[in-house]
């Protein structure tokens, strides 16, 4: 008598979560339960806050395979945002790929400072996903801006993010800091590569192994990007225009010194929500009363 084929046991969302969490913990994921729920939401194509409502549902074969693939990727320490393809920043969702840095909450300090005063024309150097430029322009409806990056792949992501948010006041172009940029701006911002070469080994696997090294470190002491920006920003800023630079938590004084040597004024070092130095703000010579004049 031929034995009957065994029917595969149906797996519910709750059972899938219970199996996934130990896998993630064993891989060193500190927030394994949270990540497992977010990955399940991704596999089910639902909002994360809806997962609880579906934990009793039986997964389809396609959903089970998608969830297993996502958990496997996360266990390999691929960033969650690269797996789901999205990251929240300044209240909006941005597409993320391996060609871009993962937008981080600390960078919102830079956006908040940018929006603390009106501006009409801005530049975002090393734009990556475009999250800084897009967030700033959406918060300043009359302004226009340009985002530059050396990576053509990153620029494609930024352009897609601008389109997804219905933003038509942003332009994107390939450039190495100010090379080929002839416009003048009343606001220049940047989150440049700033990790020193000898600090790379201490980064988490998610950053060290999955994010583009060219966007993380310039090599050496980590200050080369700031040297280039300090040298070039004065010629590209209108009198009284603002320069805002994200920094590593130990780089504030060094970057402030570089800007002071180029004549920048009213230099301030701004902390993030954890109290660590995060942004250096400076004003181009000429006074804010002349800002906006060519």
Per-residue pLDDT of the chain in tens (294 residues, 90 and over written 9): 455 555 456 799 999 999 999 999 999 999 999 999 999 999 999 999 999 999 999 999 999 999 999 999 999 999 999 999 999 999 999 999 999 999 999 999 999 999 999 999 999 999 999 999 999 999 999 999 999 999 999 999 999 999 999 999 999 999 999 998 999 999 999 999 999 999 999 999 999 999 999 999 999 999 999 999 999 999 999 999 999 999 999 999 999 999 999 999 999 999 999 999 999 999 998 755 444 443
Which pTM value belongs to this model?
A: 0.91
Residue ranges per structural domain of the chain = 13-76, 86-290
Distance of CA 88 to the CA centre of its chain: 9
User: What pLDDT score was predicted for residue 135?
Assistant: 98
pLDDT (tens digit, 9 = 90+) per residue, 97-151? 999 999 999 999 999 999 999 999 999 999 999 999 999 999 999 999 999 999 9
Tokens 């597409």 sit on residue: 95
User: What pLDDT score was predicted for residue 184?
Assistant: 97
How many Å apart are CA 244 and CA 255, to the nearest integer? 11
User: What pLDDT score was predicted for residue 8?
Assistant: 56
| Closest by Cα among 177, 275, 272 to 226 | 177
How many Å apart are CA 48 and CA 45, to the nearest integer? 9
CATH 3.30.70.270 holds for 86-290: no
Sorted by sequence, the CB contacts under 8 Å of residue 226 that are 6+ apart come out as 192, 194, 245, 247, 251, 254, 255, 258
Instruction: Give the pair of three-digit tokens for residue 215.
Output: 């966007």
User: What pLDDT score was predicted for residue 292?
Assistant: 42
Instruction: Give the pair of three-digit tokens for residue 269.
Output: 């070092």
The DSSP code for 213 is G
The DSSP code for 10 is P
The DSSP code for 8 is P
CA angle 136, 141, 145 (to 5 degrees): 50
User: What number of other Cβ atoms are within 10 A of residue 231's Cβ?
Assistant: 14
Sorted by sequence, the CB contacts under 8 Å of residue 228 that are 6+ apart come out as 177, 178
Please name every residue paired with 149 in a beta bridge, in sequence order, or none if there are none: 174
C-alpha to C-alpha distances, 54 to 39, 126, 146, nearest whole angstrom: 13, 41, 43
């Amino acid at each position: 008598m031929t034995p009957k084929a065994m029917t595969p046991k149906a797996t519910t969302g709750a059972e899938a979560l219970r199996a996934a969490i130990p896998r993630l913990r064993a891989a060193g994921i500190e927030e394994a339960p949270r990540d497992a729920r977010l990955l399940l939401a991704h596999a089910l194509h639902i909002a994360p806050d809806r997962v609880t409502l579906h934990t009793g549902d039986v997964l389809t074969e396609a959903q089970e395979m998608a969830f297993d693939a996502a958990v496997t990727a996360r266990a390999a320490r691929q960033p969650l945002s690269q797996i789901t393809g999205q990251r929240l920043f300044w209240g909006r969702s941005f597409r993320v790929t391996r060609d871009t840095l993962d937008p981080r909450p600390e960078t919102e300090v830079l956006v908040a400072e940018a929006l603390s005063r009106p501006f009409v024309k801005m530049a975002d150097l090393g734009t990556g996903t475009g999250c800084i430029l897009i967030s700033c322009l959406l918060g300043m409806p009359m302004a226009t801006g340009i985002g530059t990056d050396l990576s053509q792949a990153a620029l494609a992501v930024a352009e897609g993010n601008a389109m997804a948010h219905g933003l038509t006041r942003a332009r994107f172009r390939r450039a190495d800091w100010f090379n080929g940029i002839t416009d003048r701006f009343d606001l220049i911002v940047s989150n440049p590569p700033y990790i020193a070469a000898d600090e790379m080994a201490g980064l988490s696997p998610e950053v060290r192994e999955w994010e583009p090294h060219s966007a993380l470190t310039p090599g050496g002491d980590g200050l080369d990007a700031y040297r280039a920006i300090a040298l070039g920003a004065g010629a590209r800023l209108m009198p009284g225009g603002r320069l805002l630079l994200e920094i590593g938590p130990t780089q504030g004084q060094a970057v402030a010194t570089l800007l002071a040597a180029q004549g920048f004024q009213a230099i301030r070092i701004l902390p993030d929500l954890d109290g660590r130095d995060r942004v250096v703000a400076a004003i181009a010579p000429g006074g804010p009363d002349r800002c906006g004049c060519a």
